[in-house]
A = this chain, B = another copy of it.
């Protein structure tokens, strides 16, 4: 363990305690509802979101007590999204175990996600007393935006998959990732950290820019890891993105730059649903991606976006105070591109 991992672990423990506190204890609904809400949160995730919210607020000089409950709500929201997205994407593995819909069936899993969303509202209303009306309202608006943006991102991706759309540019990818990843993994936690401390608009703009660069880098690295790392440490299914025909920067680059016969063949394979693809076909797809060196291309884009994030942060020394919290924000930029899970 190092300083960064210690910080994450500490936030994770505090947030888990809050989540346990938010979830009702009624035993009549335990076995198909409330106990299942802890399934994903108890799996060893990265825990970036609540830590980002806490670190941003505290680096600005804010207090832990002001942000902890809201940080926990973000984690609850995140896990609810994961449950629904895993079902929608047909994903098999999440954090090293079967996805929730595979463990309990899709009907129960979808309902658990809905109930987690339902439980998120009340603690955000409690912020009226804790933080005052203005801040509580701004947080609620950010959460509403986050939920809408994430659903739009998910809709766009499902649309591209359904229509077999591969005539797409990097800009299209960045647009998608801004919605489906940046908003709920980076933008909402960081912006809410800023709102809780009450920073001025120009600083909020800077935090926003930082969050977007970090979010894009994060998602690209996620895409890279899916092709490069096996099931064990990574926690998701190796090559799962190819099985699901996901619109990663890598695959989009490969489809633009592969030779015509490879492109045609890749399109044939990608038209098939997950169930209709064979191991051999997914390996073929992987080989095409290797020939276009799209992983290297994507990794370079990720490095460049992380470097932008680092640069943005380096210009904030007069208002993001030197502290373990600021250090966490600096270190997460490196971690996002250097992680192996």
Write out, one digit per residue, whether chain A residues 139-178 have a CB within 8 A of any chain B CB (1) or not (0). Answer: 0110110011011101110110010000000000000000
Write out, one digit per residue, whether chain A residues 19-34 have a CB within 8 A of any chain B CB (1) or not (0). Answer: 0000010101101110
In the bound assembly, the distance between CA atoms of A110 and B155 in angstroms comes to 10
* A140 touches which of B89, B112, B121, B162 (Cβ 8 Å): B121
In the bound assembly, the distance between CA atoms of A31 and B163 in angstroms comes to 11
Is there contact, CB below 8 Å, between B106 and A106? yes
Interface check A137, CB cutoff 8 A: yes
Shortest beta-carbon distance, A144 to chain B, in Å? 4
Interface check A313, CB cutoff 8 A: no
Question: Could you say which residues of chain B place their CB within 8 Å of the CB of A154?
Answer: 111, 114
The 5 lowest CB-CB distance pairs between A and B, nearest first, are A118-B147, A115-B151, A88-B107, A33-B155, A121-B144
Question: For the complex formed by this chain, how many copies does it contain in all?
Answer: 2
Closest to A121 in B: B144
Interface check A122, CB cutoff 8 A: yes
Mostly, the A contact residues are helix
Is there contact, CB below 8 Å, between A155 and B125? no
Shortest beta-carbon distance, A51 to chain B, in Å? 24
Q: A117-B117, A133-B133, A156-B28 are in contact. Are A111 and B144 (CB under 8 A)?
A: no
Q: A110-B87, A110-B88 are in contact. Are A117 and B147 (CB under 8 A)?
A: yes
Is there contact, CB below 8 Å, between B111 and A159? no
Q: A32-B155, A155-B33, A159-B31 are in contact. Are A110 and B84 (CB under 8 A)?
A: yes
Q: Which residues of A contact B (CB under 8 A)?
A: 24, 26, 28-29, 31-33, 84, 87-90, 105-108, 110-112, 114-115, 117-119, 121-122, 125, 128, 133, 137, 140-141, 143-144, 147-148, 150-152, 154-156, 158-159, 162
Is there contact, CB below 8 Å, between B29 and A155? yes
Is there contact, CB below 8 Å, between B148 and A119? yes
In the bound assembly, the distance between CA atoms of A84 and B83 in angstroms comes to 14
9 new A-B contacts, CB < 8 A, other than A33-B151, A118-B151, A122-B144, are: A29-B152, A32-B155, A84-B110, A88-B107, A121-B121, A121-B143, A125-B137, A125-B140, A133-B133
A-B contact pairs, 5 of them (CB 8 A): A88-B106, A90-B107, A111-B158, A114-B154, A133-B133
Question: Could you say which residues of chain B place their CB within 8 Å of the CB of A29?
Answer: 152, 155-156
Question: Could you say which residues of chain B place their CB within 8 Å of the CB of A105?
Answer: 162
Question: Could you say which residues of chain B place their CB within 8 Å of the CB of A106?
Answer: 87-88, 106
Residue picked from A106, A117, A150, A152, most chain B C-beta under 10 Å: A152
Question: Could you say which residues of chain B place their CB within 8 Å of the CB of A84?
Answer: 110-111, 114
Q: A89-B107, A110-B88, A155-B108 are in contact. Are A144 and B125 (CB under 8 A)?
A: yes
In the bound assembly, the distance between CA atoms of A83 and B79 in angstroms comes to 21
* A144 touches which of B118, B155, B162 (Cβ 8 Å): B118
Is there contact, CB below 8 Å, between B151 and A111? yes
Is there contact, CB below 8 Å, between B114 and A151? yes
Closest to A109 in B: B88
Is there contact, CB below 8 Å, between A152 and B115? yes
Question: Could you say which residues of chain B place their CB within 8 Å of the CB of A112?
Answer: 155
